[in-house]
Chain A
Amino acid sequence: MAEALQELRFRGGGFAPGRKRWAALVFFVLLIGLWQMAGTRGWVSPLFLPSPAAIASALYAEAIQGNLWTHLVASLQRVALGWLVGTLAGLALGLAMGLFTLARSVGVPLVSAFFPIPKIALLPLFILWFGIGEASKLVTIGMGVFFPTVVAAYSGVDAVPRNLVRMAQSFGVPYYAIIWKIVLPGAMATIVAGFRITVSMALILVVAAEMIGAEYGLGAFIISAGHLMMTDRLLGGVVCLSILGLLAGVAITLLERRLLHWR
């Protein structure tokens, strides 16, 4: 007599989260709708949490008649310049540490000692050194960007497979060509991943520095709105920062697609 047939039970699913764009969109629309409702229904005081519409209209007013653009441009300039200088210097030291014994011997303890210092703590010192103007802010941002870039660059170089370097040597490829054609492209993934960290670091530091002493800049905008209890303007500034961070993230993603298309 034949045994009863039983269908095999499937047990291989799950553990593979995907992404659905509509889910994110629906969630955000719901969240903002709820927030707006909380405002219009008077569940929360508009002074403590202004509604999205109030924030938007405050932002709009600032944009057409206020100084929003001046603040924005001031912050952007500081971030761009500070980030660029910190990144270039960090890449130079980081690559040197990845390649040369002397640079590594000196660099590793240096980085370990300075990396953990919250750079904003050094701003008062930089103000004494460089004055309250642009220089002290740029140095603070540059320092904040510098150390993570150093770490990304030299660990990126360390992660370049040595067999590729040896291959190139075995074909007589010259030293500088090995750096340019093998070490740099091989380290690029780690370096660009470091950009994500350093860009957000630069945004944090610019706001902090501007809160301490600046006429223009999103940090100054936010702190003065806070002093005047204009929470709609305050949150408007925060929204601008969030948009800046998002745009920077998109730019880095585009850069990654371009530089790392082979992955």
Chain B
Amino acid sequence: MQVIAEGISHVYGPLPVLEGVDLRVREGEVLAVIGPSGCGKSTLLSILGGLLRPTEGRVLLQGKAPDGCLNPLTFVFQDFALLPWRSVAGNVALVLEHHRLSPREREARVQEALARTGLEDFAAALPKQLSGGMRQRVGIARALAVQPAVLLLDEPLSALDAQTRELLMEDFEALWMREKTTAVYVTHNLSEALRLADRVAVFSRRPGRLKEVVEIPIARGKRANPQAQAELVALHERLWGLIRLEAQSAVSELEDG
């Protein structure tokens, strides 16, 4: 399934946040979205997922969701958004309960999602008993349980410490090697984008405009190879060049204001 943003602009009251964003998320790709803090990345993702109505423009979907998909556009949240009164399995089950599934299939989906995120042994645990990394795994398991067509991830790792982030990045890599789930991955971390994305959409500072979309022409599985390093360094330089000025002026704007 493809997601197409057409001429998206958004204002919060008097504050323009996004301006004329045209963007196509291609079937099977991981599209990273980077840009300075406050440039409207989360706003864009909410619009893409139908949680926020843009002031201008529209979002189109093209193609069918795969069989078994219960929720084509599925979020993974930065703050995990887990129900503290439900167990791990209960949090995953929440998003299946309103679908017509046999109890057996529901249970199977929960179990499979937990198995894929390494949470089998924690099915009965409450969120407060888990570390941040495990909590985000629950968020990912919940998203996988509905077999999404497009994953919308809003800085899914930024609430985690560096080591946990590394581990979960490996999980994401493995996920996207196994199956080509289309994804939009918002981050302000360049190396996350370079590890996980097929393309990187770079946004200007607020009001966010799409500056450039940079391809990463190296297969995800080969990015750790020594031969790929020179190219990755060059890509890093290029992306950093694109966002550096934006980030700088965003910071000084805050200091002035």
B127's nearest neighbour on chain A, judged by CB, is: A262
A171 & B83 in contact (Cβ 8 Å cutoff): no
Residues on A with C-beta less than 8 A from B74 are: 170-171
A173 & B94 in contact (Cβ 8 Å cutoff): yes
A166 & B51 in contact (Cβ 8 Å cutoff): yes
Please give the distance in Å from B233's CB to the nearest CB on chain A: 37
The verdict on A167 contacting B98 (CB below 8 Å), with A185-B85, A262-B85, A263-B84 known, is no
B77 & A173 in contact (Cβ 8 Å cutoff): no
30 contacts between A and B (CB under 8 A): A163-B79, A163-B81, A166-B51, A166-B81, A167-B75, A168-B94, A168-B95, A169-B51, A170-B49, A170-B50, A170-B75, A171-B71, A171-B95, A171-B142, A171-B146, A172-B70, A172-B71, A172-B95, A172-B98, A177-B97, A177-B98, A181-B83, A181-B97, A185-B83, A185-B85, A260-B85, A262-B85, A262-B126, A262-B128, A263-B84
How many B residues, CB 8 Å from partner? 23
The number of chain A residues touching the other chain, given as a range, is 10 to 19
Please give the distance in Å from B104's CB to the nearest CB on chain A: 21
Q: Identify the interface centre among A164, A170, A174, A262: most chain B CB within 10 Å of its CB.
A: A170
Q: State whether the Cβ of A182 lies closer than 8 Å to any Cβ in chain B.
A: yes
Q: Produce 1/0 per residue, B56-86, CB < 8 A to A.
A: 0000000000000011011101010101111
Residues on A with C-beta less than 8 A from B94 are: 168, 171, 173, 181
Q: How many A-B residue pairs have CB under 8 A?
A: 50
Q: In chain A, residues 172-205, which have Cβ atoms closer than 8 Å to a Cβ of chain B? A: 172-174, 177, 181-182, 185
B77 & A163 in contact (Cβ 8 Å cutoff): yes
A181's nearest neighbour on chain B, judged by CB, is: B94
Expressed in whole angstroms, the Cα–Cα distance for A173 and B77 within the complex equals 16
Q: Produce 1/0 per residue, B81-118, CB < 8 A to A.
A: 10111100000001101100000000000000000000
A164 & B97 in contact (Cβ 8 Å cutoff): no
Residues on B with C-beta less than 8 A from A177 are: 97-98
Task: Taking A167-B77, A171-B142 as given, write out 17 further A-B residue pairs in contact, using a Cβ cutoff of 8 Å, ordered by the A residue number.
Answer: A163-B77, A166-B51, A167-B75, A167-B81, A168-B94, A170-B50, A170-B51, A170-B75, A171-B71, A171-B94, A172-B71, A172-B98, A174-B98, A181-B83, A185-B85, A262-B85, A262-B86
Residues on B with C-beta less than 8 A from A260 are: 85
Expressed in whole angstroms, the Cα–Cα distance for A168 and B86 within the complex equals 14
Residues on B with C-beta less than 8 A from A185 are: 83, 85
Please give the distance in Å from B174's CB to the nearest CB on chain A: 24
Expressed in whole angstroms, the Cα–Cα distance for A169 and B83 within the complex equals 14
Q: Produce 1/0 per residue, A78-105, CB < 8 A to B.
A: 0000000000000000000000000000
The 9 closest A-B pairs by CB, nearest first: A167-B81, A171-B95, A262-B85, A170-B75, A163-B81, A185-B85, A171-B71, A262-B126, A172-B71
Please give the distance in Å from A69's CB to the nearest CB on chain B: 41
